């Protein structure tokens, strides 16, 4: 049981100055103005004076971190999850890029069977399968040897109940729209990405049920004023959500500002798209079969192709505020209620309200993570700096 006192609450749907919040059994039990919520004697006290209390961050695209790549070694999902709260991440989709079918099966088994006893960390909500139904001409850092044409037999056990939450595919491929309809009917979110789809093909994909765009502008043709393509279809569609890597490298800050103007907080989802080098020093790391060269700011293959990012999600939040000129509340929506809504989890996560899962982050006034609470338990606490 936790009792947070004197916090300033920022949630997508409300702000409360000097608030108290009671947490028990992994859920928010009560909240209100300081003095209005009773503190039970056994509850551990957290003094949040001068701190901001926000919902836990949800990362829908994470390839790995802390030296581990999920596609090369799905067994490391839980160990990476234990350390993600340092970035304010309380739930995420481990991302498996284009690979052999047995790699996906192993990742499904890991999520189903290998939750460590006493685990405290970010909750894996299911897999994001980025591939194998991608356009070879926009493969990016995916191994073309494993790319496949859409085939219903390959998705027979792709469903949330079997650990699959989100699938990225290229809608222009023959048979892709049939797969979209099948996956959506099972409750899987389908995203367009690594694609050469023109505007009409993209619109057909949206009509079939595509609800998301994977790392907008990357691995797809640029926006043209006469040929708007996939980018134009996603930006002009009022229902879809677009994923964005706001590191200033994958997409220029000026374009990020334009994306914000077009989609707003309800249509934009920040992702890290981080790879194994997240939280590690510069050097050489792996992204499935490829060696990736990592500097202080970016990750690339030997030929210069971007290979994911090394962007923590809390830094992505700060970057959006800087690049787009939006408020903290607006930026928070893109990593909390928007991804929760996309996954159909609005009644469980993404906001601060009684009855919801107690996934919370305490930020300082510079929007840096001080403490993270995952399912009602403290999963990260920043050490005090010594004089």
Helix (H) or strand (E) holding 321: helix 313-324
What is the β-pairing status of strands 89-97 and 44-47? Answer: unpaired
DSSP secondary-structure letter at 146?
G
pLDDT of residue 386: 44
The Cα 121–Cα 372 span in angstroms is 9
Cβ pair 51, 370 in contact under 8 A: yes
- Pick left, alpha or beta for residue 75 (phi over 0 → left; psi -120 to 50 → alpha; otherwise beta): alpha
Q: Any bridge partners for residue 246, and if so which?
A: none
Taking residue 36's Cβ as centre, other Cβ atoms within 10 Å add up to 10
Query: How many residues can be counted in the chain?
Result: 387
Looking at 20, 273, 314, 359, which residue is catalytic? Answer: 273
- pLDDT computed for residue 383 by the predictor: 84
pLDDT of residue 144: 96
3-state secondary structure 58-107: EEEEECEECCEECCCCHHHHHHHHHHHHHHCEEEEEEEEECCCHHHHHHH
* Tokens standing for residue 23: 């947490």
Count of C-beta atoms within a 10 Å radius of residue 35: 10
With left for phi above 0 and alpha for psi between -120 and 50, is residue 33 left, alpha or beta?
beta
What local confidence, expressed as pLDDT, does residue 136 receive?
98
- Distance (Å, rounded) from C-alpha 387 to C-alpha 382? 15
Say if CB 147 and CB 136 are below 8 A apart. yes
Q: Which parts of the chain have pLDDT scores under 50?
A: 386-387
Active site residue 50: no
Reduced to 3 states, what is the DSSP secondary structure of residue 154? helix
Helix (H, G, I), strand (E, B) or coil at 191: strand
Query: Are the C-beta atoms of residues 93 and 124 closer than 8 Å to each other?
Result: yes
β-strand partners of 212: 191, 241
CA angle centred on 380, ends 28 and 288, rounded to 5°: 110
H, E, C per residue of 325-372: CCCHHHHHHCCCHHHHHHCCCCCCCCCCCCCCECCEEEECCCCCEEEE
């Amino acid at each position: 049981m936790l009792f947070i006192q004197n916090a300033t609450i920022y949630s997508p749907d409300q702000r409360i100055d000097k608030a108290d919040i009671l947490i028990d059994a992994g859920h928010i039990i009560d909240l209100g103005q300081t003095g209005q919520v009773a503190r039970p004697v056994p509850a551990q006290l957290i003094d949040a004076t001068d701190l901001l209390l926000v919902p836990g961050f949800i990362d829908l695209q994470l390839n790995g971190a802390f030296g581990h790549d999920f596609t090369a070694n799905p067994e490391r999902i839980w160990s990476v999850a234990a350390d993600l709260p340092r970035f304010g991440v309380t739930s995420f989709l481990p991302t498996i890029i284009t690979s052999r079918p047995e790699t996906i099966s192993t990742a499904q088994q890991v999520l189903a069977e290998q939750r460590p006893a006493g685990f405290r960390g970010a909750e894996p909500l299911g897999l994001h399968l980025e591939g194998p139904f991608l356009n070879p001409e926009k493969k990016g850092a995916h191994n073309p040897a494993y790319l496949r044409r859409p085939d219903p037999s390959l998705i027979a056990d792709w469903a949330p109940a079997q650990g699959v939450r989100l699938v990225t595919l290229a809608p222009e491929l023959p048979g892709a729209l049939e797969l979209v309809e099948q996956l959506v009917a099972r409750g899987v979110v389908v995203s367009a990405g690594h694609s050469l789809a023109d505007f009409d093909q993209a619109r057909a994909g949206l009509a079939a049920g595509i609800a998301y765009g994977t790392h907008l502008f990357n691995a797809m043709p640029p926006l043209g004023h006469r040929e708007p393509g996939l980018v134009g279809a996603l930006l002009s569609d009022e229902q879809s959500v677009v994923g964005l890597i706001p590191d200033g490298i994958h997409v220029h800050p000026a374009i990020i500002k334009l994306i914000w103007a077009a989609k707003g907080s309800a249509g934009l989802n920040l992702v890290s798209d981080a790879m194994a080098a997240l939280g590690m020093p510069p050097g050489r790391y792996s992204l499935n079969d490829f060696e990736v060269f990592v500097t202080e700011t970016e990750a690339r293959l030997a030929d210069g192709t971007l290979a994911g990012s090394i962007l923590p999600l809390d830094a992505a939040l700060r970057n959006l505020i800087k690049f787009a000129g939006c408020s903290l509340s607006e930026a928070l929506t893109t990593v909390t209620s928007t991804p929760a809504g996309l996954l159909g989890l609005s009644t469980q996560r993404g906001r601060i309200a009684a009855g919801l899962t107690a996934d919370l982050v305490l930020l300082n006034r510079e929007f840096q993570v001080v403490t993270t609470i995952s399912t009602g338990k403290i999963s990260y606490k920043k050490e005090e700096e010594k004089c």
